[in-house]
Amino acid sequence: MNIDTNKNTRIENSAIIIMGASGDLTRRKLIPAINRLYELNQIDDSSIIIGSGRTEFDDDAFRARFDISSNFSSKLFYHQGLDGLKNYMHSKGDFDNVIIFLALPPAYYASSAEELYNEGFDKDIRLVIEKPFGYSYESASKLNSALLKYYDDSQIFRIDHYLGKEAVQNLLVFRFANSLFSQIWNNNYIDSIQINAYESIGVENRGAYFDKSGIIRDMVQNHLTQLLSLLTMEAPASLDPEDIRSQKMNVLKNLRVADSYRYQYKGYRDEDGVPADSTTETYAEVILYIDDYRWYNVPIYIRTGKALHRKGTEIGVNFKPLPKLLFNKEGTIEPNKIIFKIQPAEGIIIDIASKIPGYNVEIDNTHMSFCYVDSFNSEIPEAYQKLLFDVLIGDRTLFVSAPETELAWKVFDPILDKGEIKYYEKGVEPKHHFRCKWIDFDKYADICSKD
């Protein structure tokens, strides 16, 4: 298997096989992402895409499901089921790289890996799976053991699509390419870290799936813990994927949950697929600590949920207040803050105190902002577009290893499905339970907006 980490590489002579190709993920995310790579000439004409599933399609019917260019459409093929899939692929050519994406319910990952292996897909493939990687530490460990019977962990690419977002990748650049911040990134200067991930919609048509999961499994254990790891990890020895992964795992080894609270929006039990007596949380508030020298005693607050007053994912770094001297004798100057806007309006905001123009010395808070929409003319790749390209060139930097998934589950296992459920109105954020100097993230919501 050829591995090339040159990001200017043009993908040649590769076969991308999508299992579960008649599903929603393939239609909404995977095919549009691959189509865009093709349009950008990052995938050439010698590569093909094969959809596979239980539904009966011919090639034309399969292609008609997608809004794609005619040139790219000619690269799409369909094969029903797994039997004979490898021979079918070889009938289209001999390929240097074979990527198999399991766009399937997680319950089928282990059995599909076995079936693919028995079909003849062995050491010459890369296997891509979508989160969730289990529903607890025990189930994640069993899943990893089942996959590793047939494929080496270096062949398995576990996608967490948050890691494909440009604003998330920029966390490492911000921290390790700017000496301005490196000396203050510790508990001597930082008072708290606050992470929000809000959705304005409810569970929509995913009620049956979501009710088996809940927001802690769906968001906290994976997406938001990954953000936290990148924000707080030590500098890796190099940009090698294993060096970065090692430092992220060190964070997870020292991470502990101090307390948590669970909420459910009113009307959730009336959603399609949700039991009338459900106690699944749709909003959670968690406080964590990293028990190491850099972050000792710095509280980390995570708040995430559905059916809230706005949509947005952001990280806030709240610095310690000034002493009550000079301009701050009354203690009225707000501490400095750094806001990382992950979505939908990517950017970084630094909140500072400034003098108001005039004859008197009056101080107010203002901000400096870096917005992707204002700073770059180039297209920001969609997360799946970036991640699929990295799979094709064999770059594992933005993917999660088996030990990493299990460590993250160990952190959150003690609070899964635990604690009383409180209720909140749709469109209203629950009152914060923890006592803290909360960052008013709503104040920054329109900064960097694309509208």
Q: Which residues are catalytic?
A: 223
Q: Residues 101-133, buried b or exposed e (16+ Cβ, 10 A)?
A: bbbbebeebbebbebbbeeebeeebbbbbbbbb
CA distance linking residue 293 with residue 290, whole number of Å: 9
Provide the residue type at 307 as one letter. A
Contact 430, 285 (CB under 8 A): yes
Lookup: tokens for 341: 């806007």
CA distance linking residue 379 with residue 1, whole number of Å: 30
| CA 54 to mean position of chain CA atoms | 29
Strand partners, 283: 263, 305
Question: How many Cα atoms sit within 13 Å of 304 on the Cβ side?
Answer: 21
CA distance linking residue 204 with residue 210, whole number of Å: 10
Angle at 395 between CA 391 and CA 401, to 5 degrees: 85
Residue 197: which of 180, 218, 170, 211 has the closest Cα?
218
Contact 287, 180 (CB under 8 A): no
